[in-house]
Structure formats: C-alpha cells, structure tokens
Structure 1
Amino acid sequence: MTSLPWSLLCCTVFLLLSEVFGTYHPGVRDPQLIAAQSYAQTRNNGRPPVRTLNPSKTDSQCRSRPLDLVFIIDSSRSVRPGEFEKVKIFLADMVDTLDVGSEATRVAVVNYASTVKIEFFLKDHFNKPDMKKAISRIEPLAAGTMTGLAIKTAVNEAFTEQSGARPRSRKISKVAIIVTDGRPQDQVEEVSATARAAGIEIYAVGVDRADMRSLKLMASIPLDDHVFYVETYGVIEKLTSKFRETLCGLDPCAMGHECEHICVNSNASYYCKCRSGYILNADKKTCSLKPVKVEVVEDPCKCEARLAFQKQTQAAIQRLTAKHILSVHLENMVGHL
C-alpha cells in the first residue's frame, strides 16, 4: 500500500524538474520550439566546460598533406572578448591537428576588423608550441568588418614567397579559412574570385549572425564542402574534426588495424596485403602460404626413347597376337579334317 504514494511522489518530482529544466515535453515536435530550446541550452545550461589556450599541449594523429594555410579571423566589435577567446582556442586546436613544420604545413594568421593586421606569417613559426604562443597573444581589433580587405591583404601579403609561401612549382596547396560572425562592409565577390583564380582554396565559416550569401560568395566550390555555419562561438571547436577530415591524411594503420602481415593506408581507410610467398585469405585480413605448383620437366630425349619403345612393344605384341590367332585357326582346321 505504501508503494503507490511513493510512485506518485516520484512522478510529481520528475514532472516538476522537467518543467524547470525544459527536458520533458511529451508530444512536442515544434521545430521552432526545439531550436529555441537548443539555442538557449547552448548559450546557458549546455555550455561546455571552460577551456583556456594551453600553448605547450599538443596532440595530433594527423599526417596532413603539406599546406600553406592562412586563417583570416574576424575580430570586429560584434565578437565579444570571451567569444574571441573561443576563436583562438579553435585556431590552437587546428594547429594541434596539423603536421606543422618547415617542410610540412606552414600557418599564418590574418586578423581583421576595420583594419587588417597580419599576426604572423607563414615563415615565422615552424613548431606548434611557438605557433600557439603567438595565437594566445592575438588581441581583437574591434570596429567594422572589412572582410574583402582582409582577403585582399592575405593574397597580396600573406600568400607570397617573401612571407613564406612555397613556390608554385612545389605544388603545395594554398588554403584560407575565414571565420566571421557578421556581414562584410565591403565587397568580397571580386577579391575572393581573384584569390581562387590564384589557386587559393577558400573555406568560409559563419557564426551566429553571419551572412550566408557572403559566405557562399567567398568560398570555393563545391559550396557544401567549403561553407560551414555554427550557432555560437561556444561550439566552433566542433568544426575542428570536420577540418581534420578535410585537411588531414589520417593514418588508420597507425591507429590500429587487423591485418596479419601488411597494412596499407587508403584515403581514410586501409586494406591488408601479404608478404611475398603468401596469399590473402577470404577474410581480407589473414594470410596463408601460397600453394606451390610443382612442374616435372623430363628429358625430352628420354620421353622420345620411351615412346619409341612403347610403339615397338605394341607392334611386337600385335604381331605375336596375330601369329597366335593364325596358329589357333590352323589347328582348328586340321582337327576338322
């Protein structure tokens, strides 16, 4: 009898808590309400743990193809100080993701608002700790949003050989990643087209109030692969894994495989091979000894001699058989006389 009141009490408490925290809405499927709740939860209750930029910490399983990579970051007035710190953490995470080095990926950062400031060039830092320290020292510029000017400055000053970009003959990919939360106050279409014509691949990341049309005008095609949008700077770090897939050549074999003999990387996956003298089994993982086909090569002279002997023997047997048949036939004739 005591279990029923207790059950009712539990249900009542659960419903009250659900109303307070907005986690229980039976039958509610209103997309706008769900989106509003998700947004509010991200901005308030659902905030991730506070992170700070740690220049000494590096963690990478990525073997990125060599890049000349320039980040173009918006630090206009609309980007609050706390949000700008999120951008810097995103940059640091991206650096951790890449294979940084003089002969690997080189990184530069262009900071912009109404004015443009190149925080460091492609030739300045070739190791992750130094690069992350330089990122941690970046300060917002405030004021307007001159995105077109920032792209033009990146092309004319950051992507030059004097600033550390590799010569075109080296065929090193040139990539720009633009991060902005607003609408450009200048023209971006023409300068972006010029940059793309110069061989620069452009990714456009929009945050919060970013103008989607402008992002599409700036980005390379296909747009689905080069335009990204996040609701807040608080979740921009989630894009790190996306860029990791795009910019990195992950090493699945190094991360663990099931091949008995040899693991071969293939894009984002791998396949197995066997050492010489073995064949791959049906499971495509294990190997077995290759069957040895034994070929007996006989002396052709010996074969001819054996064949000649066989022919002579057959002929002799045929002659003897014929004589025997004739003898029997004659005996039978004599017996009837």
Structure 2
Amino acid sequence: MYALTTQILRHSRANATKVIFLITDGYSNGGDPRPVAAALREQGVEIYTLGIWQGNIRELHDMASHPKDQHCYLVHNFAEFEALARRALHEDLPTGSYIQEDLSRCSSLCEAGADCCDIMASCKCGTHTGQYDCICEKGHYGKGLQYECTACPPGTYKPEGTPGGLSTC
C-alpha cells in the first residue's frame, strides 16, 4: 500500500494538499496498516478513515489524522455507508438550475479544446456547482459531450435540459 500510494502522490503538485480516503469493511487483510498510515501522515498526507462499526475500530482510529473525531467515521451497516456516499457525491441533493453559457466556456471539457458539446447539447453553468457542463437538451440524455447525447426512448421524454442518464427520460 505504501509504495503504491507514494507513487501516486509523487505526481501531485508540490503545493497541493495530499488526502487519502480509506474506506473499508473494518478488517485489514494484509498485515497491520497502521505503520504505513503513520509514515504517510509524517509526509504530510491527511488520512480520513471510514469503516463499518463491527470492524476493527481501534485500527481505523489509529490510522486517521488528527483531530480523530474529524477524520475517522464509523457507520452501522452498508446501507448507512451507501447513504453517506450518496451524500458525499451530492446525489441526494437537487441539481439546481443551469444558466445558458457560450460554447467556448465548455472548451476545456474535452481533449480537442473546442466544440466539446454534442449537437444536441449546450454549454451551461450549474447554479449549485458553479461548474460548466455540456447538458443534453430536452428529449435527450447522456453526458452531453460530442456524440454522447441520445434521444429518449419511445414513450419517454426528458422535459428539461438537465444532466443525467436514461433514468431522466
């Protein structure tokens, strides 16, 4: 774990905050991970641990950065973990509205650096996220990038230009 982690972190910006999220069922299966966590913390890596309550709570607590109560989280079961993950990914929040923007605002979303949005998409800025996104128009779903907007299947319809997959139709 240590070698892989340091290899990944080696490519990060020097002034960037280094953070690791350790998500586990609470039982380590490859030896004691605490010395590895301690070495990473000594290098300035901030470690958050998230585990299931029935696991090795002491181990999770020991690996987390200080203050422990802000870096070590325990959940009672996998359903609670899923709810927490959805919250962290903002999947349980309303998406907010989107403001139409010039297509050039979305030019950084693809390798070509221009014309990133699909012909059935437009460049919009999310009022909750502040992010520019290519959003498929009404009646279409997908990622919004070139060739990634698809018409909703017969019998379904997406009433507004919002992000999302087939389930939005």
TM-score category by the smaller chain? 0.3 to 0.5
TM-score, length of structure 2 as denominator length: 0.47
Structure of greater Rg? 1
**When you count helix as a share of all residues, which structure comes out higher?**
1
Q: Which has the higher contact order (CA 8 A, sep 6+)?
A: 1
